[in-house]
Structure 1
Amino acid sequence: MTTKITWLGHSAFQVETAGKTILLDPFFTGNPAATVSADSVAADAILITHGHGDHIGDTVDIAKRTGALVVANFEIVTWLQGQGLENVHAMHIGGSHAFDFGTVKLTIAHHGSALPDNSYGGNPAGIILKTADGNIYFAGDTALFSDMQLIGDEDLEVAVLPIGDNFTMGPDDSVKATNFLSPRIVIPQHYNTWPLINQDTAAWETNINLQTSATPVVLQVGEHFDLS
């Protein structure tokens, strides 16, 4: 069995595992880095880290078209129900739940979470997706925080970390985060979408190799990594 992790630009990822297709933070419309559209992607489930427009993105349209289950915090799920979605599952920080594609656990993240209409989106979250091939941590939008060391106790195969700076941790803090988390593989996200968050991934990759025990995997938009 292989779990396939595909970067779809910005913080959007597709994970194919256990015969299911999961989208994370599916922001395509208005995303200059996206190479797919909201009306072309498949989804059995959609996982949302927080309510900002560049993360909740096209969730409503995709879920209505595909019937995908949407998993998010209670406040976001309540808002989504107001947008006409019924196939939803509410969670909150520290909680976990087993689905047919794997187990989802929400972790803390240090960021904001207003929804597109400026209503309250609850606390932002990171997501640990536990699959048969290993545990994947999607940090979402967050600053570096010391409790990442506790998340590292989750025996992570992959950590997906923001490196864009300005709105999230930058490259240097992501190196510290990698040491806290101790994953086998680290993948960067939330960078190069707009000039404000452009980063030198070659320099980042060098620093990960020199300062951590993790293997850096820099994906181009549309490329995938196989976890098996």
Structure 2
Amino acid sequence: MKVSFHGHSVVKIQTAGKVILIDPFISGNGLTDLVASEEKPDVILLTHAHNDHVGDTVELALRNNSQVVAPVELANYLAGQGVETVGMNLGGAKEFEFGTVKYTKAFHSSSYTTPEGDAIYGGMPAGILFKAEGKAIYHAGDTEVFGDMEIIGNRNEIDLAFVPIGDFFTMGPDDAAYAVELIKPKTVVPIHYNTFPPINQDPEYFKGLVKGAEVKIMQPGDVIDY
């Protein structure tokens, strides 16, 4: 399994001969190393409906016949755009041929703004717990810290966690470090920072706060091999 980071909250997982993209915000993302027209995901997993997470989903899915897994209201909207979707909800898990996807709580908001300026309700925001090849990867999505992260950590041996540290729209470095104590991952990667001025942060400051986990500050394109 290969897991790579591509700026903002974009994560790519390669497993079981499949390419999985989480929150593929590529076009308009000044930090990413990806080019939307060159990506060929088999599967797209979405945490919530905000445009900086849905990103290039429709274009990618239509061009590559990608399966899109998303919170159910967002999945219903994307299905109306011609995309093949699987709509899930918090606490629900499904075993796919490429691995198991479970949606967890996140505390945030969730709406998609169309090119015409209309706001589409995207359902509950979520985190994603992905399991494959004996590994568990937790993508927290956009969220504040919350006590039930301890449940996620207690009930799952998490190998790798991606947590937002940008503050302003999500938890900042101090709260994110506390979240790591609750989640108890072996390795944690900070995400959702430095993409826009309001979320500028120093990941080294976050690293210095974290206890009990290895912190990897990944640059766009960096890969973790399992």
Report TM bin, short chain.
over 0.9
Q: Provide the residue aligned with 1:108 in structure 2.
A: 105
- SS at 1:175 equivalent: helix
Deviates more, 1:55-64 or 1:33-42: 33-42
- Structure 1 position 37, deviation (Å): 1.6
Structure 1 segments of 4+ aligned residues over 3 angstroms from their partners: none
TM-score w.r.t. length of structure 1: 0.95
- What amino acid is aligned across from residue 175 of structure 1 in structure 2? A
Distance 2:187 2:149 in 1: 16
- What amino acid is aligned across from residue 108 of structure 1 in structure 2? K
Q: Provide the residue aligned with 1:215 in structure 2.
A: 214
- Structure 1 position 151, deviation (Å): 0.7
Distance 1:203 1:120 in 2: 35
Which of 90, 93, 96 aligns to 1:96? It is 93
Distance 1:36 1:190 in 2: 16
- Structure 1 position 23, deviation (Å): 0.1
Distance 2:37 2:149 in 1: 36
User: Deviation digits for residues 139-182 of structure 1, max 9, x if unmatched?
Assistant: 00000000000110211111110000000000000110000000
Matches within 5 A, 1:28-47: 28-47=26-45
Distance 1:19 1:179 in 2: 33
- Structure 1 position 17, deviation (Å): 1.2
Distance 1:6 1:27 in 2: 14
Give 5+ residue unaligned stretches, structure 1. Answer: none
Distance 1:186 1:127 in 2: 15
Distance 1:134 1:36 in 2: 25
Distance 2:79 2:41 in 1: 18
- What amino acid is aligned across from residue 220 of structure 1 in structure 2? Q
Q: Provide the residue aligned with 1:225 in structure 2.
A: 224
Q: Provide the residue aligned with 1:177 in structure 2.
A: 179
- What amino acid is aligned across from residue 217 of structure 2 in structure 1? V
- Structure 1 position 19, deviation (Å): 1.5
Give 5+ residue unaligned stretches, structure 2. Answer: none
Matches within 5 A, 1:126-141: 126-141=127-142
1:166 aligns with 2:168: yes
Distance 2:170 2:45 in 1: 19
Distance 2:113 2:18 in 1: 28
Q: Is the 2:75–2:86 contact (alpha carbons within 8 Å) kept by the matching residues of 1? A: yes
- Structure 1 position 129, deviation (Å): 0.3
Q: Is the 2:76–2:85 contact (alpha carbons within 8 Å) kept by the matching residues of 1? A: no
Percent of counterpart pairs with the same letter?
A: 45
- SS at 1:156 equivalent: coil
- Structure 1 position 225, deviation (Å): 1.3
- Structure 1 position 184, deviation (Å): 0.3
Distance 1:11 1:116 in 2: 18
- What amino acid is aligned across from residue 187 of structure 1 in structure 2? V
- What amino acid is aligned across from residue 218 of structure 2 in structure 1? L
Distance 2:151 2:176 in 1: 16
Q: Provide the residue aligned with 1:194 in structure 2.
A: 196
- Structure 1 position 222, deviation (Å): 1.1
- Structure 1 position 132, deviation (Å): 1.1
Aligned residue pairs, count = 221
- Structure 1 position 138, deviation (Å): 0.2
- Structure 1 position 116, deviation (Å): 1.9
Distance 2:216 2:134 in 1: 17
- Structure 1 position 133, deviation (Å): 3.7
